[in-house]
């Protein structure tokens, strides 16, 4: 009997030990599996394609960015990269806090090469204005800085820029959200204006810089307005930025006048003064746009970068108010600025 007790005790010990060992094995296996599925190592670098078609390889993580284009600077900030920006060019509209960074030039064509060398950025962001200064571009290229060149004023480039910097800043989820917003609003506009007959389309006179200075369909702004169903009264001009005669504009008799504010400001008085000058311009008195008070002033920033879909909403509503009665561009603008930058938009960007 004593031997039987000893045998049973030994057997129990073996079974308990086996169970413990199996439990530990299962735990370790599950822990290893969990770790392998949730912890994806960050790649050492990422390669994106910029507007020029160049493959730009950037070592990760990126911590020092010099951005000489305000529109791309905004995109970087919207993707959570404001703290990585060490130098800027010109000014960005959102967030305005980024403008406290060191200014290394008014833009890509007038940058401070010596300061860039001193800052030793991980990534240098330029726009196509740099091609007017090829000597500087060659100097920066030979220095070995990763250089990304793009233009956020072109609607077909904005989503590509957002996607590229979503990868560079390892924030693809935010990039996807921004792209989805852009596509939603641009698609909404397209669906509402695409079936307009030619004789139903609204004609417009576009002016910027100074009186009678306009833009043909070769330039960016008329391309955006074309997306909104607008017909440019000088769309077929042979030059990109023609200076029109008063007689030409009167004869074309535009339904709407859209003009860029004379300065990049949020001061309503500037917009009001610009509109009043247009309404009182004697040469335009008999045009439909003046007779019906369909004159609108806009801020440059509303038509570029990640803000341009809101700009399109304003333009589409100015051109076809009956098709966009249910759309409130002001409210959408406030919502997107809050969503992208976590701040409340203030000031004036269009009038009225």
Mean pLDDT (whole number) for 118-145: 95
pLDDT of residue 39: 59
**How many Å apart are CA 352 and CA 350, to the nearest integer?**
6
The alpha carbon of residue 117 and the mean position of all alpha carbons in its chain are separated, in whole angstroms, by: 27
- The full 3-state SS of 165-212, as one line of letters, equals HHHHCCCHHHHHHHHHHHHHHHHHHHHHHCCCCHHHCCEEEEECCCCC
Question: Which token pair is 345?
Answer: 């938009």
Question: Which token pair is 312?
Answer: 């399109």
**How many Å apart are CA 330 and CA 253, to the nearest integer?**
29
Higher pLDDT: 228 or 16? It is: 228
Contacts for 198 with CB less than 8 Å, ≥ 6 apart: none
pLDDT of residue 60: 97
Asked whether residue 351 carries a pLDDT value surpassing 90, the answer given is: yes
Asked whether residue 9 carries a pLDDT value surpassing 90, the answer given is: no
Asked whether residue 6 carries a pLDDT value surpassing 60, the answer given is: no
**How many Å apart are CA 179 and CA 171, to the nearest integer?**
13
**How many Å apart are CA 127 and CA 52, to the nearest integer?**
10
> Could you read off the pLDDT of 28-38 as tens digits, one per residue?
344 444 444 55
Asked whether residue 86 carries a pLDDT value surpassing 80, the answer given is: yes
Q: Where are the domains of the chain?
A: 45-170, 177-351
**How many Å apart are CA 278 and CA 295, to the nearest integer?**
8
> Poorest-confidence range of 20-29, 151-160, 166-175, 210-219?
20-29
Mean pLDDT (whole number) for 276-288: 97
> Could you read off the pLDDT of 288-339 as tens digits, one per residue?
999 999 999 999 899 889 999 999 999 999 999 999 999 999 999 999 999 9
> Poorest-confidence range of 21-35, 67-81, 170-184?
21-35
Q: What pairs with residue 298 in β-bridges?
A: 260, 350
Percent of the chain with pLDDT over 90: 82
Angstrom CA distances, 61 to 42, 104, 125, 168, stand at: 8, 23, 16, 8
pLDDT confidence band for 5 (50 / 70 / 90): very low
Count Cα atoms within 13 angstroms, Cβ side, for 237: 22
Picking from 247, 240, 236, 238, the residue whose alpha carbon sits closest to that of residue 215 is 240
Percent of the chain with pLDDT over 70: 89
pLDDT of residue 346: 85
pLDDT of residue 38: 57
pLDDT confidence band for 226 (50 / 70 / 90): very high
Count Cα atoms within 13 angstroms, Cβ side, for 84: 25
pLDDT of residue 40: 63
Angstrom CA distances, 144 to 112, 117, 149, 159, 169, stand at: 17, 10, 15, 27, 20
pLDDT of residue 43: 86
pLDDT of residue 212: 98
pLDDT confidence band for 21 (50 / 70 / 90): very low
pLDDT of residue 19: 42
**How many Å apart are CA 333 and CA 311, to the nearest integer?**
9
pLDDT of residue 309: 95
CATH class of the domain defined by 177-351:
alpha beta
Mean pLDDT (whole number) for 11-40: 45
pLDDT of residue 26: 39
pLDDT of residue 317: 98
Domains 45-170 and 177-351 share a fold: yes
Mean pLDDT over all residues of the chain?
A: 90
Mean pLDDT (whole number) for 255-261: 97
Question: Which token pair is 210?
Answer: 């100074």
3.30.2090.10, 3.40.50.1980, 3.40.50.150, 3.40.50.300: CATH of 45-170: 3.40.50.1980
Angle, vertex CA 290, rays to CA 286 and CA 293, nearest 5: 150
Element (H, E) at 232: strand 231-232
Mean pLDDT (whole number) for 247-253: 98
């Amino acid at each position: 009997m004593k031997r039987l007790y000893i045998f049973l005790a030994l057997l129990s010990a073996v079974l308990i030990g086996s169970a413990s060992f199996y439990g530990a094995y299962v735990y370790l296996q599950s822990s290893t599996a969990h770790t392998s599925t949730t912890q994806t190592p960050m790649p050492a670098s990422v390669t994106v394609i910029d507007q020029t078609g160049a493959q730009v390889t950037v070592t990760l993580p990126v911590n020092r960015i010099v951005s000489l284009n305000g529109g791309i600077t905004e995109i970087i900030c919207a993707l959570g990269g404001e703290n990585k920006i060490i130098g800027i060019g010109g000014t960005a509209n959102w967030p305005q806090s980024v403008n406290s960074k060191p200014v290394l030039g008014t833009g890509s064509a007038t940058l401070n090469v010596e300061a860039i060398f001193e800052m030793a950025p991980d990534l240098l962001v330029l726009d196509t204005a740099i091609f007017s200064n090829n000597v500087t571009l060659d100097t920066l290229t030979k220095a070995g800085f990763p250089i990304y060149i793009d233009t956020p004023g072109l609607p077909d480039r904005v989503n590509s820029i957002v996607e590229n910097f979503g990868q560079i800043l390892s924030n693809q989820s935010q990039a996807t959200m921004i792209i989805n917003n852009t596509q939603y609003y641009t698609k909404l506009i397209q669906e509402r204006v695409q079936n307009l007959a030619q004789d139903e389309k609204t004609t417009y006179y576009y002016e910027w810089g100074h009186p009678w200075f306009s833009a043909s369909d070769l330039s960016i702004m008329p391309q955006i307005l074309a997306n909104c169903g607008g017909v440019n009264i000088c769309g077929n001009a042979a030059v990109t930025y023609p200076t029109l005669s008063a007689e030409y504009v009167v004869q074309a008799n535009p339904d709407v006048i859209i003009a860029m504010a004379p300065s990049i400001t949020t001061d309503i008085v500037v917009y009001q003064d610009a509109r009043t000058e247009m309404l009182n311009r004697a040469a335009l008195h008999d045009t439909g746009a003046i007779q019906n008070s369909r004159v609108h002033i806009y801020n440059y920033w509303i038509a570029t970068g990640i803000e341009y879909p809101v700009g399109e909403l304003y333009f589409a509503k100015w051109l076809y108010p009956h098709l966009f009665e249910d759309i409130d561009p002001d409210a959408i603008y406030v919502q997107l600025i809050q969503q992208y930058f976590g701040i409340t938009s203030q000031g004036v960007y269009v009038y009225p």
